Structure 1
Amino acid sequence: MIQFYKKRDFGAFITDTFNFFKSYGKNFFKNYFLINGLLLILLVAVGVFSFRNFFGQFINGNMAGQSDYMARYFEDNMGMFIVTMILIFLLYSALTVVNFLFPVFYSKRVSEGQTKIKTDEILSDFKKNSGKIFKLYLGLTFLVIPVSFILFLISYVLIFLLIGIVIMLFLVPALFNVITFLTYDYFNSNRGFFESLSYAIRSQFSYPNGREASPYWKYWGSTIIFMIIYYIISMIFTFVPMMMFYSSILTSAPDGSFEQNPMTGTFGVLFFVIYGVAALVSLIVMNLLYINSGLMYYDSRTDLHQKIELAEIDTIGTNE
């Protein structure tokens, strides 16, 4: 078993994240796919077929040499485009909430001593916390994410001045940790949304007692490591469809013009199946980041470390 509420150093975050999946991975992903499976399939299917249709029309426009082809295509299919976008948004919102909260509820149960968690137990957590989930969704959608996007946009603009690269390097992991800390704290404490948000921001830079060294660098470093791992795995799976697409262009249009749409037929189906698998793998691998950030959250809760230590002392005294 992994002890959750304890102080960890940088190396412990890395090893314990992998140890978590080594110890609980089978049960974790069994529940993950039972709960998320249908949503994952629907999202990937809708996204792939929508992207295929859009991409196919884009290539058709290039083949015909019509610069305004895409504009006319959207005008003629505006209704279908709006319905598709609404469907993708609803599916993506549902998947994001379930996918994001599943590691939170699972970790909470494991931290309380459970080892074999049932799907019904996780579903009951979703049902029991439905009101808080709705408030969290509103807070993230209309406050946290817009502010994060503005900060990200400012950093992106500053890239042209080079300083933006440095800011982005520190901003992205910090924003990710603030959002995950907010979520973990919101469902692991009695604090409200804004109180948890305040705690999530403050805990990036100091422990609650204020007497220990800042945990910022070990939180930042651990998140960077897993973001790199996530990026490498995602690139491995997206590299295949990218190479398939570019090779089809080079082999089918040696003179620089398309004779036929490379996204049609068997090749097109294979390309988007692999693209869908790549998207699915990316969503699954994100659990590494969620669990790692959860361990950081439990590291930050030094108030609970003390309670556990006192409980262990009481147990020793009882055994004696």
Structure 2
Amino acid sequence: MLHLFKKRTFSEYIGDTFAFFKENGKHFFKHYFIINGGLLLLLLVLSYFIFKVYFEVLFSSIGTNAPNFLEDYFNNNIALIIGVFLFFLIVILFVSLVNYAFPIIYLQLYEKHKGCNFETLDLIKAMKAKIGKIILFFLALVGLSLTAGLLLMAIVFALFFVIIGIPIAIIGIPALMAWVQLSFYEYLNEDMGILEAYGRGFDKLKQQFWPIVGSTIIMYIIIQTIATVFIAIPYIIGVIDMVTNIENQQTDADALSFFSIMMVVVVCISILVSYILNNIMIINGGIIYYSLRDQNENITTLSDIDQIGTPSE
């Protein structure tokens, strides 16, 4: 069993993340898809039909004599478009909420049961017990994103016009991601308010800033590389088919029709892969969180002391 409470270095943050999935990946993703599979399927179905209509309208405007074809289409269907968009946004937020909380709850039970000796019902009960805190954290996160987050983005964007802006973005964005993850772990694992959780998360980030940021950057690069491979395949197929149809003097409509389908497939695969692979990033955050807790609270040492004199089996 991989122990969560353990003092780690930079390389161990990455290595133990993959060791966790190697040891418990089958159990983790089994229950992940049992709980989240239906939600992901709903999101993919909605995404398919929404983007299918979008690309059909987009490509159908090519070659038309109407200069404001897209504008006219949206103006004539404004109520339907707004209604579908709001419903789609609500589904995305709910799916994101459940998906983001699942790995944190999973690690809680993993530590509590000293391994993956728990079932789907245990996960559902634990998530229901924390649902209020999960929603509050996301509301606070949205509020911070719309205030301080936008201000920071504006500053970073302005700094992009000078050389110093690029390294600040490369370091700052992963640091913000790690801070939010550590704060969410604090909030769901301890009895505290949101502001206190963010404060403790920030303290933990400062404690090992460069190893944490470096680990987050490496994990992000790995995830994006894997996602790009999955996304590139249908995109390349669509481009090759469109070029082939044009060379064979087939109608532009046929070529664009298949290409639009491939673009929809690309979007759906992108959404699915991003949600699934995001588990790796959050588990990595958990490995960091439990390591820092052990470093601060000496949990492993105290546990070893408590076991002194206990008869071995």
When normalised by structure 2's length, the TM-score is: 0.91
Tell me, yes or no, if structure 1 residue 296 matches structure 2 residue 288: yes
Distance in 1 (CA, whole Å) between partners of 2:69 and 2:130 is 48
Distance in 2 (CA, whole Å) between partners of 1:13 and 1:63 is 54
Tell me, yes or no, if structure 1 residue 221 matches structure 2 residue 214: yes
Tell me, yes or no, if structure 1 residue 111 matches structure 2 residue 135: no
Contact 1:155–1:168 (Cα < 8 Å) also in 2: yes
Tell me, yes or no, if structure 1 residue 285 matches structure 2 residue 286: no
Q: CA-to-partner distance for each residue in 1:183-220, whole Å, 9 max, x for gaps? A: 111011112111001111121112xxxxxxxx111101
- Measured after TM superposition, the shift of residue 269 of structure 1 is 4.1
Contact 1:27–1:117 (Cα < 8 Å) also in 2: no
Contact 1:181–1:297 (Cα < 8 Å) also in 2: yes
Tell me, yes or no, if structure 1 residue 312 matches structure 2 residue 309: no
Secondary structure in structure 2 of the residue aligned to 1:117: coil
Q: Percent identity?
A: 30
Indicate how the Cα distance of structure 1 residues 168 and 65 shifts in structure 2: closer, same or farther if over 3 A, else same: farther
Tell me, yes or no, if structure 1 residue 194 matches structure 2 residue 195: yes
Indicate how the Cα distance of structure 1 residues 84 and 191 shifts in structure 2: closer, same or farther if over 3 A, else same: same
In structure 2, the residue matched to 1:236 is 229
- Measured after TM superposition, the shift of residue 150 of structure 1 is 3.2
* Structure 2: gaps of 5 or more residues: none
Tell me, yes or no, if structure 1 residue 92 matches structure 2 residue 92: yes
- Measured after TM superposition, the shift of residue 242 of structure 1 is 2.6
Indicate how the Cα distance of structure 1 residues 182 and 133 shifts in structure 2: closer, same or farther if over 3 A, else same: same
- Measured after TM superposition, the shift of residue 305 of structure 1 is 4.2
- Measured after TM superposition, the shift of residue 23 of structure 1 is 1.2
Range that drifts further, 186-195 or 159-168: 159-168
Indicate how the Cα distance of structure 1 residues 229 and 149 shifts in structure 2: closer, same or farther if over 3 A, else same: farther
In structure 2, the residue matched to 1:16 is 16
Distance in 1 (CA, whole Å) between partners of 2:201 and 2:146 is 14
In structure 1, the residue matched to 2:179 is 178
Q: Which runs of 4+ in 1 moved over 6 A?
A: none
Contact 2:43–2:92 (Cα < 8 Å) also in 1: yes
Distance in 2 (CA, whole Å) between partners of 1:100 and 1:127 is 14
- Measured after TM superposition, the shift of residue 114 of structure 1 is 3.6
In structure 1, the residue matched to 2:268 is 276
Distance in 2 (CA, whole Å) between partners of 1:4 and 1:149 is 35
Secondary structure in structure 2 of the residue aligned to 1:168: helix
Contact 1:63–1:258 (Cα < 8 Å) also in 2: no
- Measured after TM superposition, the shift of residue 258 of structure 1 is 7.2
Indicate how the Cα distance of structure 1 residues 153 and 54 shifts in structure 2: closer, same or farther if over 3 A, else same: farther
Letter of the 1:77 partner, please give it.
Answer: N
In structure 2, the residue matched to 1:211 is none
Contact 1:63–1:259 (Cα < 8 Å) also in 2: no
In structure 1, the residue matched to 2:132 is 131
Distance in 2 (CA, whole Å) between partners of 1:195 and 1:236 is 40
In structure 1, the residue matched to 2:33 is 33
Letter of the 1:53 partner, please give it.
Answer: V
Contact 2:6–2:295 (Cα < 8 Å) also in 1: no
Letter of the 2:234 partner, please give it.
Answer: P
Distance in 1 (CA, whole Å) between partners of 2:129 and 2:122 is 10
When normalised by structure 1's length, the TM-score is: 0.89
Range that drifts further, 274-283 or 20-29: 274-283
- Measured after TM superposition, the shift of residue 162 of structure 1 is 2.8
Range that drifts further, 64-73 or 178-187: 64-73
Range that drifts further, 279-288 or 176-185: 279-288
